[in-house]
Copies of this chain bind each other. A is one copy, B any other.
C-alpha cells in the first residue's frame, strides 16, 4: 500500500441501474418515463441564450423556483431546488438530521438513505416493513432524531394514505419528517395540503419521473419557509452555484405545462393497471403499486433467472440481490408496446421452461 492510500476514504461503490449504450433494448430498469418531456421544453431549449452561459447562473434559480411554486400553489419561499432529488435529500440530511438519536426509515426503501446517513455520521435505525411489504406507522412513534420514508415507497410501489402520513408527522412534531414523493404523481395524494399545519414537514420531489427529465437532474423540496431558509443557509455556506442555466430554463418550461403532464401521467397509470392484470395472469404476485413500476415475484420461477432471461432478450428490468427482496423484479412501466413485448416474451418463456 502506498502511503497516500492510507488517507483515502473507504467506500462501497453503488452500482447504478445499467445504462446500456445500445438503443435497441427495452429499458424498464431505472423508472424513467417512456414519453419525451413537454414540447415546451423543446421550445425553451431552442430559445436558450448561449451568451447567458458565460455568466454564473442565478444561485437561487428564481425562474425555476417560481414555476414550481405556482404549480403547487405555495410561496416561492417554500421551494428549495437541487441537482436531482438525490442532491436535495443529501442536503436535507445534512441540514436537519443532527441529533444523537437515530433517524428512522424503512428497512426496504430507497437505497441511498443509509448511504447519506453514513456519510454525515448520522445514527439511524431501520423499521422493517410488514409481511405485505407495508410501512407500519406505529413503528415511527418512538423517540427519534427524524423520520424519512418515500410515499409511495420504493422499490415496493406501496402507498400509505394521507391520513397515515399525517399520523406519523403529528407524532413527531419535535423533529423533521421528510416524505420523499418521487413517485406520488402516479396515483398518490401528496402531503402538500398538510404544509399549512406542520412546520416540521419537508416534501421531496423530482422532475426525473413524472416530468420525463431524468437527464436534466432537477429535484426540489417543499416545506415551511423556516425549513427552506435552513436548507438555503447550509447550501450557500458551501456551494452556491449548483443548478446550471439549462436546468433552470428547461425546468421552468416543464413545470409550466400542466396539460402535457396530466396526459402522460394518466397514460402511464393506464398502462400500469393493464400490466397488473397481465402479470397476474402470467403467475406473478405483487403488492399493489401506485408508482411507475411494479415490484413483482413469480409464483414458481426465481427472479434472478427471469432477470437474466429478459436481459438476454434485450429487455432490462431491475433486480436487487438484497435480503427479503432477492426474489423480486422491479419492472418500470414503459409504453404499451414495450410492455407487450415484455408480456409476449414472458408468456413464451414460462410456457417453454
Residues of chain A having any CB pair with chain B under 8 Å: 2-4, 6-9, 11-17, 19, 27, 30, 32-37, 41-42, 45-46, 48, 50-59, 83-84, 86-87, 90, 94-99, 112, 115-116, 119, 145-146, 173-176, 199-200, 208, 212-217, 230, 232-234, 236-247, 250
Evaluate contact between B246 and A244: CB separation under 8 angstroms: yes
Number of copies: 2
Are A175 and B4 also in contact (CB < 8 A) when A45-B50, A53-B41 are? yes
Evaluate contact between B237 and A3: CB separation under 8 angstroms: no
Instruction: Identify whether the interface residues of A are mostly helix, strand, loop, or mixed.
Output: loop
Evaluate contact between B87 and A239: CB separation under 8 angstroms: yes
Write the chain B residue with the least CB distance to A98.
B7
Evaluate contact between A244 and B217: CB separation under 8 angstroms: yes
What is the minimal beta-carbon distance from A171 to any residue of chain B, in angstroms?
13
Report how far A8 CA is from B13 CA in the complex, Å: 29
Partner of A233, one of B13, B145, B239: B13
Report how far A87 CA is from B243 CA in the complex, Å: 12
Evaluate contact between B241 and A244: CB separation under 8 angstroms: no
Are A238 and B14 also in contact (CB < 8 A) when A32-B56, A48-B45, A56-B30 are? yes
Partner of A238, one of B4, B119, B238: B119
